[in-house]
């Protein structure tokens, strides 16, 4: 399984990084695909392996976020997400009502992360660097948490939600995220100490996002969000920590811009 995970990462990571670097139509195509697949995975997860009727609305709403950017209406993307989330609620009410809060909450949560990603990439001058920094920090957290957890073991972090996660894994992820973040201090022009602390803090947020998805999968009795990525499961399984981190980073960058 580890070998398969590594091979998948070696194939997919360069493609993702290249699309982010180039931007334009390539990034638009990537985000349309990823947003649609995440919507499909979330709807199927809520439907315990089958796509509920409201799932099509979830997919359309999430695809609509990067579509607004692709068509040059990025200033209206948040409005599209808000109206679309209401639409998902209305459509969900005509099906299994127990799924309404899950489909609505998941749509807004995933859509907000997609929106934050695209807004960060669009930041003048620093957008590309910000996204690369964020990705490298989250990847470092995942890798270091995995190996620290497997190698050290010890007390479980949240055994009722994710039996394999340990406190050692969390601390390892924090250390990895802090070091990678600090290494980018000169690149982004931010203070070393602040970047060190940011990396450690984002590791906690990323692990919380990971636990949130694990809790949702346990709630619906689903092991993986899909089997699209060999060794990793689905896209949501791969970006669960990133989804939690993106809005936090965007809010911080927006705060700095407002103060500046």
Residue 21 has pLDDT above 90, yes or no: yes
Rounded Cα distance between 25 and 246, Å, is 22
pLDDT for res 178: 98
pLDDT digits (tens, 9 = 90+) for 90-139: 999 998 889 999 999 999 999 999 999 999 999 988 999 999 999 999 99
Which of left, alpha, beta for 72 (phi over 0: left; psi -120 to 50: alpha)?
left
Torsion angle in degrees (nearest 10) through CA of 14, 18, 19, 22: 180
Residue 1 has pLDDT above 80, yes or no: no
Strand ranges, E, within 155-221: 156-158, 162-166
> Which residues lie closer than 8 Å to 174 by C-beta, 6 or more apart?
141, 199, 200, 203, 204
- What are the backbone dihedrals phi and psi of residue 203, each rounded to the nearest 5 degrees, phi first? -65, -40
Rounded Cα distance between 101 and 166, Å, is 30
Predicted structure pTM score: 0.95
Residue 2 has pLDDT above 80, yes or no: no
pLDDT digits (tens, 9 = 90+) for 59-93: 999 999 999 999 999 999 999 999 999 999 999 99
Residue 260 has pLDDT above 60, yes or no: no
pLDDT for res 259: 64
Length in residues, the chain: 260
pLDDT digits (tens, 9 = 90+) for 27-52: 999 999 999 999 999 999 999 888 99
223: Cα separation from own chain's centroid: 18
Rounded Cα distance between 238 and 137, Å, is 14
């Amino acid at each position: 399984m580890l070998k398969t995970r590594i091979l998948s990462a070696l194939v997919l990571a360069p493609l993702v990084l290249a699309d982010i670097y180039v931007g334009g139509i390539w990034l638009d195509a990537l985000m349309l695909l990823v947003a649609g697949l995440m919507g499909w995975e979330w709807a199927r997860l809520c439907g315990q392996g089958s796509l509920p009727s409201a799932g099509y609305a979830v997919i359309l709403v999430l695809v609509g976020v990067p579509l607004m950017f692709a068509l040059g209406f990025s200033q209206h993307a948040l409005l599209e997400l808000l109206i679309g989330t209401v639409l998902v609620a209305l459509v969900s009410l005509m099906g299994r009502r127990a799924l309404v809060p899950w489909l609505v909450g998941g749509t807004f949560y995933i859509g907000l992360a997609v929106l934050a990603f695209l807004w960060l990439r669009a930041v003048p001058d620093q957008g590309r660097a910000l996204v690369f920094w964020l990705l490298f920090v989250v990847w470092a957290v995942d890798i270091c948490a995995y190996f620290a957890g497997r190698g050290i073991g010890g007390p479980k972090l949240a055994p009722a939600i994710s039996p394999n996660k340990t406190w050692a894994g969390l601390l390892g992820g924090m250390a990895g995220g802090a070091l990678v973040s600090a290494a980018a201090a000169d690149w982004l022009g931010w203070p070393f100490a602040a970047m060190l602390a940011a990396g450690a803090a984002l590791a906690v947020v990323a692990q919380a996002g990971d636990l949130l998805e694990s809790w949702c999968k346990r709630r619906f009795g689903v092991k993986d969000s899909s089997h699209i990525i060999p060794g990793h499961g689905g896209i949501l399984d791969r970006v669960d920590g990133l989804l939690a981190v993106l809005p936090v980073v965007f809010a911080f960058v927006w705060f700095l811009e407002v103060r500046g």
